[in-house]
Amino acid sequence: MSLEKWPKIDVKADRSYPVFLGVSLEELGEFLHLQFEDVEHILIISHQVVADVYLDRLQKGLLDYRVNQIIVPAGEQEKSLERISQLTRAALECETDRKTLVIALGGGVIGDLAGFFASVFMRGIRLIQVPTTLLAQVDSSVGGKVAVNHPLGKNIIGAFYPPLAVWTDFSTLDSLPWEEVENGLAESIKHALIADRSLFEFFENEEERIKEREKSIWSEMVVRSSAVKVNIVSQDEREQGVRALLNLGHSFGHALETEMNYRGVTHGQGVSIGIAAASHLANAKGLMTIAEVDRIKQLLNRFGLPIMIPGQDPRALLERMQADKKNQGGRKILILPKGIGQAVVSRECTDQEILAAWKQVIS
């Protein structure tokens, strides 16, 4: 038996780790046997919707281990210190110790929550990410960021805690509702925009087959989009430089999400409108033509992602951007696309310019 049979890309960082793409849940146990001889106890953290459909398949390969599951409710509110405290209690009750391996089976919420739990329980126990949403497969499971929220800020309590491996089974996406697919598409299109022009063209050319969920096209989409993230994180794991580019559309998007109190706009929709606003700003700064702005907006639109939002106050949104984590010394730091397939960090956008960009996406 060898590791060769499973397709993967490696994150090359302080501690490198494999991102397996296109493997099956049932085979994870075999990988663990090969790679980590001293594992005896496995703790799976998931939530009901995912566990109902995928837990049996995962457990089929784990028959040689002592396995416990902790099922938490779904939803962003679960990323809390209270839930970490409850997980700690539940983990101790099933005799979790320093040699236990945690499997995070779910979307970005489970990945962040179980990942943060693994990072602090007994000062850190082993972690495998098994992402089951498109967003988690192309984005959140890779890169080692784990976090919970605080009433004063999203993801404000967290760590860099890379997993031992990411185990991505594309078939888990079969059950994902389209609304959740859109959240992942927004991030995938963002990846294309900042680093891979041919991936952008792939989205333009394969719209129909993506919408029809054609398996080979979805596999290609996840592999190419994950590759962008793997590549960026390998260059800059701790976000000292190039990793910041992954925030394209997010400064605008977060401002919108917080202004709307996280109601009436999903994260993917916020990012999409944010990308449209950042593209207008890039045009004003001479970084892209208006034809390119239109092309980006058209692509987002073709996948059902919004590029305008009605009834918002641009000044209030500008004000919200004041609290962005990336700002330095009161100066707003924004990520702007540079044509299609590149992006830059800009420290020179005036409030006037940002306001003008907001006005372009408010109807």
Q: Which amino acids are annotated as binding site, given as ranges?
A: 108-112, 132-133, 145, 154, 187, 250, 267
3-state secondary structure of 166: strand
Active site residue 283: no
The stretch near ligand NAD (CB under 6 A) out of 11-19, 107-115, 200-208, 353-361 is: 107-115
CB-nearer residue toward ligand NAD: 45 or 349: 45
296 binds ligand NAD (CB under 6 A): no
Binding site for NAD(+): which residues? 108-112, 132-133, 145, 154
Active site residue 33: no
| Contact residue for ligand NAD among 9, 19, 50, 62 (CB under 6 A) | 50
The dihedrals phi and psi of 151, each to the nearest 5 degrees, come to -50, -25
136 binds ligand NAD (CB under 6 A): yes
337 binds ligand NAD (CB under 6 A): no
189 binds ligand NAD (CB under 6 A): no
**DSSP code string of 77-131:** GGSSHHHHHHHHHHHHHTT--TT-EEEEEESHHHHHHHHHHHHHGGG--EEEEEE
Structure tokens belonging to residue 54: 């995928």
Binding site for Zn(2+): which residues? 187, 250, 267
3-state secondary structure of 238: coil
259 binds ligand NAD (CB under 6 A): no
Name residue 296's beta-bridge partners: none
How far apart are CB 135 and ligand NAD at their closest, in Å? 4
| Contact residue for ligand NAD among 18, 106, 253, 274 (CB under 6 A) | 106
Active site residue 213: no
The stretch near ligand NAD (CB under 6 A) out of 18-26, 43-51, 282-290, 345-353 is: 43-51
Which of 126, 191, 229, 280 is the catalytic position? 229
Number of residues that bind ligand NAD (CB under 6 A): 26
Which of 183, 247, 257, 292 is the catalytic position? 247
234 binds ligand NAD (CB under 6 A): no
Active site residue 197: no
Structure tokens belonging to residue 287: 């970084």
Name residue 46's beta-bridge partners: 71, 105
Structure tokens belonging to residue 214: 């054609």
How far apart are CB 228 and ligand NAD at their closest, in Å? 13
Active site residue 211: no
249 binds ligand NAD (CB under 6 A): no
For 253-263, letters b (16+ CB in 10 Å) and e give: bbbbbbbeeee
Q: How far is residue 134's CA from residue 182's CA, in Å, rounded to a whole number?
A: 9
Active site residue 187: yes
Active site residue 47: no
Q: How far is residue 320's CA from residue 256's CA, in Å, rounded to a whole number?
A: 8
The packing angle between helices 250-259 and 314-321, to 10°, is 120
Q: How many angstroms separate the first and last alpha carbons of the chain?
A: 59
Structure tokens belonging to residue 215: 């398996």
Is 202:221 a contact under the CB 8 Å cutoff? Answer: yes
135 binds ligand NAD (CB under 6 A): yes
Residue type, position 149, single letter: N
CB-nearer residue toward ligand NAD: 266 or 301: 266
Active site residue 60: no
Measured at the alpha carbon of residue 227, what is the angle toward residues 226 and 230, in degrees to the nearest 5?
Answer: 85
Is 304:184 a contact under the CB 8 Å cutoff? Answer: no
Catalytic (active-site) positions? 123, 145, 187, 229, 239, 243, 247, 250, 254, 267
Interface residue list for ligand NAD (CB under 6 A): 47, 49-50, 74, 76, 79, 106-110, 112, 132-133, 135-136, 139-140, 143, 145, 155, 172, 175-176, 180, 183
